[in-house]
Amino acid sequence: MSSPSAPDGPVFTAPHVAPPVGTLLAPVPTKRRGRPLGTWALLLALIAGVLASAVAGFVAFRIARGAGPGLLAAGPSTIDLRVLSPVRDLVLVGEITFWTATVIGVAAVAMGIVATVRGSARGAGIAAIVIGVLGPVLFGIFVALALVGGIATLPGGTGVAV
């Protein structure tokens, strides 16, 4: 049985040829909405890892400058927390910064994992995971350097000769 359109038999198209876009066989592709989960995770990781570390470093420097004379007088063998009384407001700011950065960093890592698995801004999700995991290390380094720098700039510290 032959097709009326072809004298030698039915005519078929090659399997790799797609029908024209906009026909019933191939509808117009819908615009894919952006999925910003990975981008949000990266933003949160930067806030927790970089911004909070900078704030904590600044606060730690000020704590060392305020409590430094008491720390230097006590010596390395004894640590009396009463020397932090003059800077208790800064200690509170430092603690709030630490816990806020912890919560935001954990949320950033979790969102980064979800974004990576779903493929929603995968590169940003991976970057958020890396920054979120390295954030506590950066936080600790900033605080340690700021404490040492704050004590070193005191008149009785090792950084400035009086």
9 located within any domain:
no
Instruction: Note the pLDDT tens digit of each residue in 139-151.
Output: 999 999 998 898 8
Low-confidence ranges of the chain (pLDDT < 50): 2-3, 160-162
64 located within any domain:
yes
125 located within any domain:
yes
130 located within any domain:
yes
Q: How far apart are the first and last CA of the chain?
A: 109
Question: Is residue 26 within 8 Å of residue 18, measured between CB atoms?
Answer: yes
Burial class from Cβ neighbours inside 10 Å (0-12, 13-18, 19+) for residue 58 reads middle
14 located within any domain:
no
20 located within any domain:
no
Report d(CA 153, CA 140) in Å as an integer: 20
Please give the C-alpha separations between residue 120 and each of 30, 45, 148, in angstroms, as whole numbers.
18, 16, 42
| Domain membership of residue 68 as a residue range | 37-152
The reported pTM is: 0.70
Looking at residue 34, its pLDDT comes to 67
140 located within any domain:
yes
Please give the C-alpha separations between residue 125 and each of 37, 52, 75, 134, in angstroms, as whole numbers.
8, 20, 46, 14
162 located within any domain:
no
Looking at residue 82, its pLDDT comes to 81
Total tally of structural domains belonging to the chain: 1
Q: Which amino acid is at 140?
A: G
